[in-house]
Structure 1
């Protein structure tokens, strides 16, 4: 949905209210991230696991791909400065949103705190910056206040929610420090959701009632996003949905455990991080093809804010073709960048020796037998 959100076309799909407001699914990611990180690390951190090692593991998971995509963007800026853009863009290389200062902010994952006028370089990395600082905040609090995790998470969620509600629409601009509050809100609710799931025993609902509840939750999430109203409440619905699906008793849960969906889950971080780059280059290719065929496939609009490319040829079909290209490229970046870097960071930290009796948690750490899920870190 985030990929479709960043695609523009004259078709019905990208102009639907659901896609127009699908930026709200980033807040679903924040909730799911809090849930999963708590599954894998909450008890470890509360019983003495090193905050430093936890942060190194998280950085080993998210930073290498972030760095690689930034390097590709930098290479394209250099090429554009040296040989031009072949008419595909009227933006001057190394101008907003890709100045050298903005590059430094992105490399340090502090871009959301720098007051930049828009999201910079690889735009989606704003949420990764918010995640990393939320990781650190939560890890320190888990260690410092092990018996107060639930009240602390509730207080953070309420505080962040109030900040966002009082700020109004500007709070949902991802270029601002409010992004940190968005992440804290969703992540804290995810922590609370995990703590509830870890302690509850789901009754056997039966296939039909469980499926009905899953359909209702799914429809409610879709309706809330499509409406685009009161986004500060969306994480509450998302957290309730995560709790329900953790029971895995309905048909939709079974569907999501099929291999194609598990593959998309595995590739989700790569999909998220590479999609703006792949979408932009895919539309450039379509522009060049249209020019050679003397039949424009893309409408290009140049303005002071940059270059906007709109798919006009078979738009509803082409946006899914581009989406397929994004997934294929993501499979490659997962295979050659994301997974090797993650494994290398784990091995390096393992050689450093354990910081406590708790082993290093992996992204698929099993949970207690009574718990209904296993942790898999999302994008």
Structure 2
């Protein structure tokens, strides 16, 4: 409980931050063992944890209110204000970058810009700019990574918000069972090789639906007393066991449904905050990582890309061999183990600093503004009534 008496799942907030850190780490490719192992290669599956957690948190925060008639316009404004401004800022930052590349290499030059990139091609396709800016790119081009490429999941999230809000409005709490059942059906179809949807939306619907199911189960599993912390042996063992299972499933690139079910179990167990790992997750540094999670997720691609550009330009001038173009146009780090680890640490620190700056300048002010506007809408509705 917070001081205001409202539930706050602090351990889950920290897991969100760790998942964002894992996705960012996955996007640093290299030849050193730290960057070339099955666990690292599959850490993008942290996005599936985001979907499960989002279904749980949105159901907790808005499900019953939407079922009782809470304004869908206010709900969507609050969610839009939470996710769109920073996304838009990142798309515009990439637009400025592409314009700069075009000015420096107007005809592509010999090999194009740093890393052989040619402006306004590939993920930065100019034709996809309007849809990407409006955050509907995955609705139109499902499966394509466009502009701020990790925003595909946020585009899917926006669609999920609309569908879930309509379901709560039409069905009330029955929407929870419908969402979970639909997620299980899709997951089983995926296991059987008959998934009827593009991969991105499939991942979103399965994860979000299972998260809604977690909230339906929560009243039966919520703890009756305060968190026990480090002295609680059995809850701590359950928490540790779940983490081990998830690590194994990620390293083995498990099918979507088993991994999402493991993530759903993690959400339910760590929402209780009864074990030693939960006590660790409630410490200030990890909670702060949770605060920075969305910013880190959104900015790390731009930050890492510019660091790799700098390394590519430096090695052209100095004659070293530190990075190379990997298949798909990504940069591949060629440094040995220790220099790679040190560089990754620096890259993560820079990305976290940029996430904090983006939060201060864009994310948090925009969220507060959307809350004020939504509050004004509520007061106007009360006066009109």
Provide the TM-score with structure 2 as the length reference: 0.84
Cα gap change, 1:354 to 1:18, in 2 (>3 Å): farther
What's the CA shift string for 1:247-293, capped at 9, x where partnerless? 11111001001111011100000000111111100112223344454
**TM superposition shift of 1:219:** 0.6
Q: Any gaps of 5 or more consecutive residues in structure 2?
A: 1-21
What is the alpha-carbon distance in structure 2 between the residues aligned to residue 208 and residue 29 of structure 1? 28
- Alignment partner, residue 144 of structure 1: 170
What is the alpha-carbon distance in structure 2 between the residues aligned to residue 217 and residue 325 of structure 1? 31
Equivalent residue runs for 1:167-206 within 5 Å: 167=193, 177-202=198-223
Tell whether the 8 Å contact from 1:61 to 1:342 is kept in structure 2 after alignment.
yes
Equivalent pairs, count: 350
- Alignment partner, residue 374 of structure 1: none
| Structure with the higher fraction of residues in helix conformation | 2
Q: Secondary structure at the match of 2:35?
A: coil
- Alignment partner, residue 346 of structure 1: 371
Q: Secondary structure at the match of 1:353?
A: helix
Are 2:34 and 1:13 equivalent residues in the alignment? yes
- Alignment partner, residue 299 of structure 1: 323
**TM superposition shift of 1:166:** 4.3
- Alignment partner, residue 33 of structure 1: 54
- Alignment partner, residue 353 of structure 2: 328
What's the CA shift string for 1:15-55, capped at 9, x where partnerless? 12111111111111100111111111111111110112101
Tell whether the 8 Å contact from 2:311 to 2:323 is kept in structure 1 after alignment.
no
What is the alpha-carbon distance in structure 1 between the residues aligned to residue 191 and residue 356 of structure 2? 38
Cα gap change, 1:117 to 1:23, in 2 (>3 Å): closer
Equivalent residue runs for 1:66-145 within 5 Å: 66-84=87-105, 87-115=113-141, 118-145=144-171
What is the alpha-carbon distance in structure 2 between the residues aligned to residue 230 and residue 93 of structure 1? 36
Are 2:260 and 1:235 equivalent residues in the alignment? yes
RMSD: 2.3
Tell whether the 8 Å contact from 1:12 to 1:316 is kept in structure 2 after alignment.
no
**TM superposition shift of 1:4:** 1.3
> Which of these residues, 284, 290, 293, is aligned with residue 309 of structure 2?
284
> Which of these residues, 19, 43, 56, is aligned with residue 22 of structure 1?
43
What is the alpha-carbon distance in structure 1 between the residues aligned to residue 379 and residue 273 of structure 2? 34
What is the alpha-carbon distance in structure 2 between the residues aligned to residue 355 and residue 127 of structure 1? 34
Cα gap change, 1:43 to 1:66, in 2 (>3 Å): same
Cα gap change, 1:68 to 1:202, in 2 (>3 Å): same
**TM superposition shift of 1:177:** 3.4
- Alignment partner, residue 17 of structure 2: none
Tell whether the 8 Å contact from 1:311 to 1:318 is kept in structure 2 after alignment.
no
Q: Any gaps of 5 or more consecutive residues in structure 1?
A: 358-379
Tell whether the 8 Å contact from 1:27 to 1:186 is kept in structure 2 after alignment.
yes
